[in-house]
């Protein structure tokens, strides 16, 4: 039964395989004790295919064994329809070489690529784990700390690829895998670009998963690294909330929301999500790519600043299921043998299986009989269709209620009813957002013949207003100013600024004319950046004080005895030198008083004022005895010079 099924599967996939065709066979010994008829299909004489694990628009993915290097691999086999496009093949070769050059722990490695009789394939690292899509299906959503870790590792992969000039162009949960060790790996670098560019060339359209496409990709503009960051921002929203930010009845409706709407804050869907992650998602998904983080490294830096404040959650390892995802059987109980490069049949010698790659050989056929039969069948179908159209299908319909629906969805509904649709010039509506139906003509409920024209008047949203410039204002004052203009204020991010005081507006992302009721995203100052404390140990008290005050610090002095540091020099500083401290904060200098016990200095020859100042430097108390007829100069002292005294002792000075 297995032998007959393998032959039927092969013939179904390659109908041109017939007796007498030319073929190339690749023989491989069957495992000892394997039953006859159990065929192991081998690709290019090296890769033994074990099972299919996924399928998609470009082809199918199989788990296989590299018989040369004795390791498990994943093989993506492209559809034959793509191999017929020479432009795609050229791009595939170029992008495959580039992808093979990527080497990073967070990127699925590409080991090999090639073609066998028009079948193009790519050999990749086999990842044991699950895709983000499978995890979201099972978990619903991830905790903030879990989602942040997935995004952080994905950014590391993008950072490495972008440095080498490679843009993924199709970041989505299906292309992000998590291993059983909790390592995130991004797949399909290069292949996504070759496929997307091939579709653009063939049909003049944009190819990709519209839920994750950046606005510039939808407009047909070239993608750059910031396009990947937008897509990852959408994935971040989905990881945190378990749902997509934009949905619609059609791809066009979703694309319009990417172009005209803003990604809502994740906390609006899940209230426990911190506000910092709201700002992170908003920054990554800005419609203007110039307002997004400038690179994957910058975006990762923003995220890593948020992570320490997130609630602790289970590790990725604990939520990854290591069972591979296996496609279900067909209804008849058979499986589709996608890499059935040929039929496997028993060879003449026991213990050998053969995989055959067929070559097309066209025979002479009596095609004219088939043409006549097809013509007769088409004529009968046309006659039947005319009768059904004329006598059974109704030809009138009522204009449905469409106010408030997306314009594209309304257009599709009217087209399904058989009406011709005209889109009139839009009009402003204070309570209806842009892109929705304001009204239709004729009015709702009017009965029309199919084919008649229904005009849709779209809403342009609230009338435009001039956004006031609020840079330099406090947040409270800026909010009041914007509200007076009919706009809302929201804080997009906060950053250090050496010139703008903390709490004041550094900049705003929307200027000029904007729709009334729009949110104006503000960037607030966190004040001056922290300053590193300089090394001043060993400097004099005055020099150290000048160095610290020039950096904006306030200086306080503590004095202490020291046998190793000269009197009046700095012993140390707190905070310690090299550490960062807030701008304007207080730094304490510890200044040496010299040793606590020392030899008495000489005061002979000094005036009373000079002697008093010198004694203060050594921490000695002074008393003076005036001798008659003197000029006020010290002539002797007690204790005498050189006698050991302690800090705070008194010294008797005699003036003559």
Q: Is 20 exposed, middle or buried (0-12, 13-18, 19+ CB in 10 A)?
A: exposed
Catalytic residue among 66, 85, 90, 170: 170
Largest CA distance in the chain: 150
**369 bridge partner residues:** none
Distances (CA, A) of 15 to 59, 342, 353: 19, 11, 22
Concatenated DSSP letters for 327-379? Answer: PPPPTTS----TT--S---B-SSTTEEEEEEE---PPP--HHHHHHHHHHHHH
> Would you say 124 and 74 are in contact if contact means Cβ atoms under 8 Å apart?
yes
Q: Are 343 and 7 in contact (CB under 8 A)?
A: yes
CB 36 within 8 A of CB 346: yes
Place of tokens 């784990």: 129
Report d(CA 133, CA 150) in Å as an integer.
13
- Alpha carbon of residue 337 to chain centroid: 36
**Which residue's entry shows tokens 């992302």?**
509
| Burial of 124 from C-beta contacts in 10 A (0-12 / 13-18 / 19+) | buried
Rg (CA), the chain: 40
> Rounded to an integer, what distance in angstroms lies between the CA atom of residue 214 and that of residue 226?
9
DSSP for 32-97, written as a single string: TTPPTT----EETTTEEEEEEEEE-SSEEEEEEEETTTTEEEEEEEE-HHHHT-HHHHHHHHHHHH
Judge whether 90 counts as a catalytic residue: no
In sequence order, what are the residues at sequence separation of 6 or more whose Cβ sits closer than 8 angstroms to the Cβ of residue 77? 43, 59, 60, 61, 62, 119, 120, 121, 338, 339
Q: Is 515 helix (H, G, I), strand (E, B) or coil?
A: strand
Q: Are 595 and 563 in contact (CB under 8 A)?
A: yes
Q: Examine residue 639 and say whether the peptide bond preceding it is cis (omega within 30 degrees of 0).
A: yes
> Is-cis flag, bond preceding 262, omega within 30?
no
Compute φ and ψ for 5, nearest 5 degrees.
-65, -40
Q: How far is CA 228 from CA 102, 160, 192, 444, in A?
A: 17, 13, 12, 43
Q: At what angle do helices 86-100 and 191-203 cross, to 10 degrees?
A: 160
Active-site residue set: 170
């Amino acid at each position: 039964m297995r032998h007959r099924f393998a032959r039927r599967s092969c013939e179904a996939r390659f109908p041109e395989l017939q007796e007498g065709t030319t073929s190339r066979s690749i023989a491989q010994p069957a495992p000892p004790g394997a039953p006859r008829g159990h065929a192991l299909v081998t690709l290019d004489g090296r890769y033994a295919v074990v099972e299919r694990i996924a399928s998609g628009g470009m082809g199918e993915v199989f788990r296989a064994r590299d018989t040369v290097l004795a390791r498990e691999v994943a093989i993506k086999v492209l559809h034959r329809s793509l191999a017929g496009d020479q432009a795609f093949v050229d791009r595939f070769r170029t992008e495959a070489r580039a992808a093979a050059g990527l080497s990073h722990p967070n990127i699925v490695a590409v080991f090999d690529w090639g073609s066998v009789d028009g079948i193009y394939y790519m050999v990749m690292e086999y990842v044991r784990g699950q895709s983000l899509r499978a995890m979201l299906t099972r978990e619903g959503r991830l905790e903030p700390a879990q989602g942040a870790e997935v995004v952080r590792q994905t950014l590391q992969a993008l950072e490495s690829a972008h440095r080498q000039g490679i843009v993924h162009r199709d970041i989505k949960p299906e292309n992000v895998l998590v291993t059983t060790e909790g390592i995130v790996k991004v797949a399909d670098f290069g292949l996504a670009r070759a496929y997307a560019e091939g579709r653009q060339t063939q049909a003049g359209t944009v190819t990709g998963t519209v839920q994750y496409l950046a606005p510039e990709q939808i407009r047909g503009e070239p993608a750059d690294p910031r396009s990947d960051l937008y897509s990852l921002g959408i994935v971040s929203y989905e990881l945190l909330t378990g749902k997509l930010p934009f949905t619609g009845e059609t791809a066009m409706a979703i694309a319009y929301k990417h172009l005209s709407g803003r990604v809502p804050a994740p906390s609006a869907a899940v209230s426990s999500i911190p506000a910092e992650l709201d700002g992170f998602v908003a920054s990554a998904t800005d419609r203007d790519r110039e307002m997004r983080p400038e690179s994957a490294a910058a975006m990762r830096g923003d995220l890593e600043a948020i992570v320490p404040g997130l609630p602790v959650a289970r590790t990725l390892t604990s939520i990854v299921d290591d069972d591979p995802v296996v496609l279900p059987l067909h209804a008849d109980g058979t499986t589709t043998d996608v890499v059935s490069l040929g039929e496997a049949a028993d060879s003449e010698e026991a213990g050998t299986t053969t995989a055959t790659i067929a070559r097309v050989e066209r025979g002479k056929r009596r095609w004219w009989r088939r043409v006549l039969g097809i013509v007769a069948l088409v004529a009968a179908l046309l006659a039947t269709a005319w009768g059904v159209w004329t006598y059974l299908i109704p030809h009138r319909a009522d204009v449905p209620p469409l106010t408030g629906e997306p314009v594209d969805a309304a257009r599709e509904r009217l087209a399904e009813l058989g009406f011709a649709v005209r889109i009139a010039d839009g009009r402003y509506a204070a309570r209806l957002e842009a892109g929705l139906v304001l009204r239709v003509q004729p009015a709702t409920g009017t009965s029309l013949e199919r084919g008649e024209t229904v005009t849709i008047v779209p809403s342009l949203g609230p009338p435009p207003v001039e956004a006031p410039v609020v840079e330099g204002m406090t947040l409270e004052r800026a909010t009041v100013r914007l509200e007076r203009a009919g706009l809302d204020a929201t804080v997009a991010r906060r950053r250090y600024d050496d010139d703008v005081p903390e709490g004041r507006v550094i900049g705003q992302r929307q200027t000029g004319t904007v729709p009334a009721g729009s949110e104006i995203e503000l960037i607030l100052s966190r004040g001056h950046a922290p300053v590193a404390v300089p090394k001043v140990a060993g400097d004099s008290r005055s020099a150290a004080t000048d160095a610290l005050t020039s950096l904006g610090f306030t200086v306080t002095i503590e004095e202490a005895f020291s046998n190793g540091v000269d009197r009046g020099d700095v012993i140390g500083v707190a905070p310690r030198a090299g550490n960062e401290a807030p701008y304007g904060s207080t730094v304490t200098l510890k200044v040496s008083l010299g040793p606590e016990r020392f030899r008495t200095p000489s005061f002979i020859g000094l005036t009373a004022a000079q002697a008093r100042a010198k004694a203060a430097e050594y921490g000695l108390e002074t008393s003076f005895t005036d001798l008659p007829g003197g000029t006020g100069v010290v002539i002797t002292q007690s204790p005498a010079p050189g006698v050991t005294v302690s800090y705070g002792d008194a010294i008797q000075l005699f003036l003559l």
